[in-house]
């Protein structure tokens, strides 16, 4: 979501004459797009603002903060950082040109963090002109979250769930395909709770049927919204990529209850079993919070056991960080604060286990022929090509296939995070046959 917001900010600024620079030292405008999920991100923001103060003093650059920290702190950020020019929340991205006009013309310090009613909110759209040449693009399906998990600040910084009308989504996807996009990722804070005129499963099927779409992905999801209908969509539509990011957060029932997660580990595993039966080989990734208030060594071992049992493709794991206005932040002392050193030690044990599983998963692909959607030159070696498998595995390979083509790659090696190989004879694999869905 944050990457998508940054892309849409850049497109909005381009419409009023701004162009990106290769260095902040040359900038007339610097915007920090922020995340409020962890305290460390806020600390990094303040540190960056300190560095960019010199640019402001030297060349009069405008300095702004957007995103969730801006929404959380509002005018307090202007008071805390006296050289900051403007602050705006996620709902204000479309109004960024007007914010800059007020800063430049009125010499005002601006705070734009008002929530918009659902009928007023304008979903950010990918600009086809900016997307030309891209193989993959984000498409916003919904925003906000109605789940109030005890650790999460998102409902306070992104607001209630608002779904975008499905015809608008299909129209955007069709426009992106016209400029060469072949893979779209539907995004939202809780995207599989989508309610924009059709179910989320039907939305996926409809997007997959847009002529020219090769793959459809989505992120991120809540386990309670993984319906039988969504599982069936994975079974019948090969264009829905076999990769599911399904945050579990902890392997401990007691911790899940304090987190206000409304599922048990048995329920989570049952849903995964249904997914894997419907789509054999599907890659499952997840989120884990380590050191949640009250987490015992036994609770943590349950998370290790779950990681071993599921064999996640990968996981995003972090130490618990208390956030403002959250139940866990307010009750940390009551539930039992886990010492920082214990959190760090547990996190390293978990990540070490996950690294081994990921390495073993990738190593098992060696000597196989796999499908790769080519995105362009490899970042590590421009003489090689780079792409991703349907399971979202990164592949660097020898070959000359153009961006946007689907090729077969003979896997010759693996690293802890990617695969290496040689382009096989088949370039531009035949189209995937369509399925029939209700009108």
Share of the chain above pLDDT 90, in %: 80
Q: What is the average pLDDT value for the chain, to the nearest integer? A: 93
Number of residues assigned to the chain = 439
Yes or no: say if 161 and 145 are a contact pair by the CB < 8 Å rule: yes
Q: What is the mean pLDDT of residues 40-52?
A: 90
pLDDT computed for residue 439 by the predictor: 46
* Residue 126 or 297, more confident: 297
pLDDT computed for residue 432 by the predictor: 73
Residue 240 DSSP code:
B
Closest by CA position to 38, among listed 329, 333, 258: 329
**Region for residue 356 given its phi and psi (left: phi exceeds 0; alpha: psi -120 to 50; beta: otherwise):** alpha
Q: Which fold has domain 128-363?
A: pyruvate-formate lyase- activating enzyme (3.80.30)
Structure token pair of residue 368: 């196989």
Lowest mean pLDDT among 151-165, 235-249, 275-289: 151-165
Q: What is the mean pLDDT of residues 146-150?
A: 94
3-state secondary structure of 37: coil
Q: Count other C-beta atoms under 10 Å from residue 117's C-beta.
A: 7
**Domain range list for the chain:** 2-112, 128-363, 369-427
Answer whether 0.85 is exceeded by the pTM.
yes
Query: Where residue 437 falls among pLDDT bands split at 50, 70, 90?
Result: low
Q: Go through 345-361 and write b for each residue having 16 or more CB atoms within 10 A of its CB, e for each that does not.
A: ebbeebeebbeebbeeb
Yes or no: say if 320 and 348 are a contact pair by the CB < 8 Å rule: no
The string of pLDDT tens digits covering residues 153-179 is: 988 888 889 999 999 999 999 999 999
CATH architecture of 2-112: 3-Layer(aba) Sandwich (3.40)
Q: What is the mean pLDDT of residues 364-391?
A: 95
The string of pLDDT tens digits covering residues 100-140 is: 999 998 888 999 998 776 667 778 888 888 899 899 999 99
* Residues 271, 321, 261: CA angle, nearest 5 degrees: 25
Q: What is the mean pLDDT of residues 404-420?
A: 96
Report phi then psi at 139, rounded to 5: -135, 120
Closest by CA position to 398, among listed 416, 412, 388: 412
Give the strand pairing for 29-34 and 62-67.
parallel
Q: Is the pLDDT of residue 38 over 90?
A: no
Class of domain 369-427: mainly beta
pLDDT computed for residue 41 by the predictor: 81
Yes or no: say if 150 and 326 are a contact pair by the CB < 8 Å rule: yes
Q: How far apart (Å, rounded) are the C-alpha atoms in residues 317 and 398? A: 33
Structure token pair of residue 334: 């009551």
3-state secondary structure of 327: helix
Within this chain, domains 128-363 and 369-427 share the same CATH topology: no
Distance set, CA 386 to CA 135, 178, 383, 392 (Å): 12, 22, 10, 12
pLDDT computed for residue 117 by the predictor: 65
Closest by CA position to 407, among listed 385, 381, 392: 385
Distance set, CA 293 to CA 151, 282, 312 (Å): 10, 33, 24
Closest by CA position to 213, among listed 236, 237, 187: 237
28-37, 73-82, 276-285, range with greatest mean pLDDT: 276-285
Helix (H) or strand (E) holding 409: strand 406-414
pLDDT computed for residue 121 by the predictor: 76
Q: How far apart (Å, rounded) are the C-alpha atoms in residues 166 and 171? A: 9
Q: How far apart (Å, rounded) are the C-alpha atoms in residues 234 and 93? A: 33
Structure token pair of residue 193: 């709770």
Structure token pair of residue 114: 């008002």
Task: Please give the distance of CA 64 from its chain centroid, rounded to a whole number.
Answer: 23
In 54-125, the DSSP E strands lie at 62-67, 86-88, 110-112
pLDDT computed for residue 438 by the predictor: 53
Give the strand pairing for 162-163 and 142-143.
antiparallel
């Amino acid at each position: 979501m944050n990457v998508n917001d940054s892309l849409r900010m850049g497109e909005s600024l381009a419409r009023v004459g701004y162009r990106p620079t290769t260095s902040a030292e040359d900038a007339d405008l610097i915007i920090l797009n922020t995340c409020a999920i962890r305290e460390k991100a806020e600390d990094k923001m303040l540190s960056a603002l300190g560095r960019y103060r010199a640019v402001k003093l030297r060349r009069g650059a405008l300095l702004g903060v957007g995103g969730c920290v801006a929404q959380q702190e509002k005018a307090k950020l202007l008071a805390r950082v006296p050289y900051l020019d403007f602050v705006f929340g996620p709902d204000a991205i479309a109004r960024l040109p007007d914010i800059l006009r007020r800063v430049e013309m009125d010499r005002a310090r601006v705070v734009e963090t008002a929530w918009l009613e659902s009928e007023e909110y304008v979903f950010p759209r990918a600009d086809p002109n900016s997307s030309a040449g891209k193989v993959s693009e984000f498409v916003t399906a919904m925003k906000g979250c109605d789940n109030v998990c005890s650790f999460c600040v998102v409902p306070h910084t992104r607001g209630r769930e608002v779904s975008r009308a499905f015809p608008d989504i299909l129209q955007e996807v069709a426009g992106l395909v016209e400029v060469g996009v072949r893979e779209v990722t539907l995004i939202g804070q809780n995207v599989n709770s989508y309610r924009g005129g059709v179910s989320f499963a039907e939305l996926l099927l409809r997007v997959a049927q847009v002529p020219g779409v090769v793959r459809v992905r989505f992120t991120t999801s809540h386990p309670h919204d993984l319906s039988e209908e969504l599982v069936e969509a994975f079974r019948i539509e090969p264009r829905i990529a076999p990769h599911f990011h399904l945050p579990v957060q902890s392997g401990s029932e007691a911790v899940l209850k304090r987190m206000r997660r409304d599922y048990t580990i048995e329920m989570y595993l049952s849903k995964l079993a249904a997914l894997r039966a419907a789509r054999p080989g599907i890659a499952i990734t997840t989120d884990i919070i380590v050191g949640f208030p009250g987490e015992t060594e036994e609770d943590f071992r349950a998370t290790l056991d779950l990681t071993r049992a599921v064999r996640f493709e990968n996981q995003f794991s972090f130490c618990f960080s208390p956030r403002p206005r959250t139940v866990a932040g307010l009750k940390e002392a009551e539930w039992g604060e886990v010492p920082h050193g214990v959190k760090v030690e547990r996190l390293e044990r978990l990540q070490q286990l996950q690294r081994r599983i990921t390495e073993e998963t990738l190593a098992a692909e060696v000597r196989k022929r796999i499908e790769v959607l080519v995105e362009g030159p490899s970042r590590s070696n421009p003489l090689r090509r780079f792409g991703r498998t349907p399971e979202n595995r990164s592949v660097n390979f020898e070959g000359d296939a153009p961006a946007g083509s689907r090729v077969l790659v003979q896997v010759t090696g693996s690293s802890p995070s990617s695969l290496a190989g040689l382009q096989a004879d088949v370039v531009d694999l035949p189209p995937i046959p369509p399925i029939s869905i209700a009108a």
